[in-house]
Structure 1
Amino acid sequence: MLALDIILGSNSIYASFSFSKYVTLALGLLAAGLVFLRFMIEASGGNRVRINSNSLMALFIFLFVVVFYLFAQNVFWAKNFGQLANYLGLFVLFTPALWLYVGVFGYRGLLDKYVKLMVMIAVVALLFWGLGSIMGLFAPTSYFTIGWGGNNQVASYYGVYFETQFKTIAGHVVVRNSAIWPEAPMYTMSLMFALLTQLFVLPKRRPVFVTILIISMASTLTSTAILILVGLATYYLWRATNVFSPWYRLVLVLMVLLVVSVPAMFVFSKFMNSKLNGFSGSVRVDDYITGVKAWIKHPIIGEGFNNNKALYKFMNMNIREYYNNGELTFNKGVANAWTPLIANGGLLFMGTYLVGLGSLFRLGGSWRVLTLFIFAMMFLSIMQYTTIMMLFIFAVPFALENDSDKERFVRNRLWDSGPKNFMAKSSREYGRG
């Protein structure tokens, strides 16, 4: 349930319906309730649950910062009462609950369930996308109005797959696979976290899972997916040449990249040029300019959580206008995470995210590769206020001192439980670092 909570809270389409105003608060309450219930179950069974003192102190500091920001910005400064429920759900309820859960029970069991659920969602989405959206073997079963980027009506297949975006390829309009997300790039981000977790965090190798996730990323038809897959291919190619000397290793990588990438880069360059020279590219560039201008006005504590009105006044609306069903409208969305983060929260919130990323990087090993991907992807997608980001930036690095964190819960639970093989089995079950 907690893994499903994380998925639904990562900008899923269910949070974008007109009747979903307080979904983030509900998800936060659900997460806190689930963690509290788990603690109560363990306590009732006579199991000792210990929380690392350093983790607890870091949690108190985090709560002090976010609560201070909450009252200073949302209530007294920006008077942004409409976002109060979202803020409380994400930062005051969900993140601390996740923090405590990971610090006591570990992270691998939770991440394993997250990956499995994402693979299930990916399989369902591929079936509906291929048979319904592409081949047209059956029609949508219903339609919903979502508030993502304005009020838009989207087609749905039994409420588990949605057609939210289209792309023109060689004169043909093709539906992007966005699964249960309001746009394909957001689905790409969730797939990315699942893929990177499977590759770099979980010990069990699952080639079928990896294949499904890669195919799903390709079906989103996004430049973000291309960049992620190219980056992963380059990384694994570099690792595969470890047996060679550094000089031959570099030459071999360059030769393979030249041979393989010529046709790929031709397609990719045409794709990127169409974006950068068109409406999407101009808006993306203006996003960064807007963020810097808004940040300069209030550099320390920013303009307020999700205070989009503060961003609008700095946007170049001349390049953001477009026609939707014959009606002139403006694209007021932001396509990267850093712009709203620094504009909404200033150096205060930016600092907490950078410290979180630094702590994740400090875990060493494959965590460093994962951290670099997250940092880079924050320039390409709006993912800063999602539950999956709370897990990787705040819960995992601060709740665990390192990747081989002491198995506090497993040892406490099984101290008097018998044979060592039972301890080893339970250790694997709970997925300790």
Structure 2
Amino acid sequence: MYPKIKVRRAVNAFFSYTFVTAIMLNSRSVWMHLNHTGGKFSECMLLLLMGSFLGYLLTKGRLNYNYLGITMMIILIVTGYIGFWLVITNYKLVSGSKFILATATILSYYYLSDVKERREVLLRYRNLVLFVATVSMICWLLFSMLKLGSPTSHVFSTWTGTDEPKSVASYYGIYFESQILHGFVRNTAIFTEAPMASLQFTIGFLIEFLVSEKVHPLNRILFTLAILSTTSTTGILLILFFWLYTIISAKNYGTIIALIKVTIVPVALIAAVIIANVMLTAKMGESSGSIRTDDFIVGMKAWSHKPLLGNGFNNSDALKAFMGGWRSYNTGFSNSITQLLAQGGLCMFLLYMLPIFSNFKNFLRNRKYRVFLVGFLYLFTFTMFTYQYILILLIAFLSDRAYESPDLSVDKLKE
């Protein structure tokens, strides 16, 4: 390979990594919600996203013009649709316009890439999340569990139940103790709370299992341990049933796996059901569990108020209006599905869901795609990342018809 080509590819990979860095940091990282500076950091992430895309495009080499027409059509339809809805609802036009810019940038990056590059952007996201997960587990064990060091500084986060800033311990700016539950420090890594850290680790876990062609046992173990360290019920239940599914659906692994299926799997399945029941019961017994349940009720009530167009882009006041006084200490929200319905109505809900379910042929033909979709819908139902950049990327991936043919399926992508 010529030196110039090597340099160009290295620079191209660099821009690809800065692109996924912007996507990850947009996903409720601590810096997004710092008092006084969170808004500026959010704008910087949008600029980084757009700048990285431009750099990636300029160092990409030859552009496949076969993708250009369809990409432009997709961008115009999606951004025009969101823009029309934004004007009609007339709420947070500036924030909504930034969301349109981010959506257009991510979709442009994705659809102007060939099939191999589309997979690579997900794998690079996995690599980045794996790095954060590994560093966070080391810091969590040394600082939070073994108490081998003291916080090097404190920051003030506005990601609270009442939007009042709270002090968060920071260790060298690479690990934050954002959430302490009954004296136990949960691993929140660089994110605002454990569910957000668990969301990132779980997405990385799904990509590792279902998109990566190569099996990396260490990566799978690290993601599993990272999710466990967050003590997030949503993440733990997903990996619990996912590992069981992996063993049950395993093929051509000889008599050992066959023996495990016959003897251990039934016992493990019963244990998994018991553990899930205990975790859910404990969760429901806590105030956070009651609030999560109430969030679904609140979301549906707010949606019924304006079912077609919703209450406006990221309109949290519309949700708070239906919350009872008993939860005045925590008016945050916890799921994407009813938030989207309440704020975007059927109009935006269909924009999110139709592209995915229009790819039904892939759902029928590709087992790994089915599992990924189920995992995605599970996270979308029980975690809030409605307007985060990573959601746009995942929707683009799940709606991509390039994976319909057998030789281009997620598990058989050709180099």
Give the TM-score normalised by structure 1. Answer: 0.81
AA of the residue aligned to 2:21:
L
Q: Which runs of 5+ in 2 are unaligned?
A: 1-17
Q: Deviations over 1:256-284 (max 9, x none)?
A: 44422555555543332222123122211
Q: Report SS of the residue matched to 2:189.
A: coil
Aligned 8 A contact 2:79 2:103 in 1: no
In the TM superposition, 1:81-230 aligns within 5 A as 84-85=94-95, 87-90=96-99, 92-105=100-113, 106-149=117-160, 150=163, 151-168=165-182, 173-230=183-240
Contact 1:362 1:368 in 2 (8 A): no
Give aligned-pair identity as a percent: 28
Opposite residue 20 of structure 2, the aligned amino acid is: A
CA contact (8 A) 2:241 2:272 kept: no
Task: Report the alpha carbon displacement of residue 190 of structure 1 after superposing the two structures with TM.
Answer: 0.6
- Change in CA separation of 1:208 and 1:289 when aligned onto 2, cut-off 3 Å: same
> Cα deviations across residues 193-232 of structure 1 (Å, max 9, x unaligned)?
1111111012122111111111101110111122111221
Q: Measure, in 2, the Cα distance between the counterparts of 1:215 and 1:307.
A: 36
CA–CA separation in structure 2 for the residues paired with 1:399 and 1:259:
38
SS of match in other structure, 2:38: coil
Q: Aligned partners of 2:189 and 2:307: how far apart in 1?
A: 38
For the residue of structure 2 that corresponds to 1:57, the secondary structure is helix
Determine if the alignment matches structure 1 residue 58 to structure 2 residue 74.
yes
Query: Deviations 1:358-386 (Å, cap 9, x if unpaired)?
Result: 24664442122111111112221112211
1:302-381 → structure 2 map (5 Å cutoff): 302-318=310-326, 320-321=327-328, 330-359=329-358, 362-364=361-363, 365=366, 366-381=368-383
> Does 1 or 2 have the higher relative contact order (CA < 8 Å, sep 6+)?
1
| Alpha carbons 1:337, 1:381 under 8 Å: kept | yes
Structure 1 letter corresponding to 2:81: V
Whether the 8 Å contact between 2:30 and 2:192 is mirrored in structure 1 is yes
Alpha-carbon RMSD across the aligned residues, in angstroms, is 2.7
Deviation sequence 1:147-200 (CA, Å, 0-9, x none) = 1022111101111110011233xxxx2210010110001111111111111110
| SS of residue matched to 2:309 | coil
CA distance in structure 2 between the partners assigned to 1:46 and 1:338 by the alignment: 40
What is the correspondence of 1:243-262 to structure 2 with a 5 Å cutoff? 256-262=264-270
Give the 3-state SS of the residue equivalent to 1:143 in structure 2.
strand
* Equivalent position of 1:235 in the other structure: 245
Secondary structure of 2:168's match?
A: strand
- 1:66: Cα distance to partner? 0.7
Unaligned runs of 5+ in 1: 322-329, 408-430
Report the 3-state secondary structure (helix = DSSP H, G, I; strand = E; otherwise coil) of the residue aligned with 1:228.
helix
SS of match in other structure, 1:110: helix
Label 1:360 to 1:203 Cα distance change in 2 as closer, same or farther (>3 A).
Answer: farther
Q: CA deviation at 1:432?
A: 6.4
Shift in alpha-carbon separation, 1:16–1:361, aligned structure 2, 3 A? farther
Matches of 2:62 and 2:186 in 1, distance apart? 51
CA contact under 8 A between 1:17 and 1:146: conserved in structure 2?
yes
What is the distance in 2 between the residues matched to 1:154 and 1:360?
43
Distance 2:335 2:262 in 1: 31
8 Å contact 1:161–1:179 — kept in the other structure?
yes
The answer to whether the aligner puts 1:293 opposite 2:293 as a matched pair is no
Cα distance between partner residues in 2 of 1:349 and 1:107: 25
| Contact map agreement 1:99 1:398 (CA 8 A) in 2 | no
Question: For residues 15 and 351 of structure 1, do their structure 2 counterparts lie closer, same or farther at Cα, with a shift above 3 Å needed?
Answer: same
Please state whether the residue corresponding to 1:305 is helix, strand or coil: coil
* Aligned residue identity for 2:32: A
What CA distance in whole angstroms lies between the structure 2 residues aligned with 1:38 and 1:139?
40
Could you say which residue in structure 2 is the equivalent of 1:68? 84
Partner of 2:11: none
Q: Please give the secondary structure, in 2, of the residue aligned with 1:21.
A: helix
Q: Distance in 2 between matches of 1:311 and 1:184?
A: 23
The 8 Å contact of residues 5 and 27 in structure 1, kept in 2 or not, is answered as yes
TM-score, normalising length from structure 2? 0.84
Given that 1:103 and 1:400 are in contact with CA atoms closer than 8 Å, whether structure 2 keeps it comes out as no
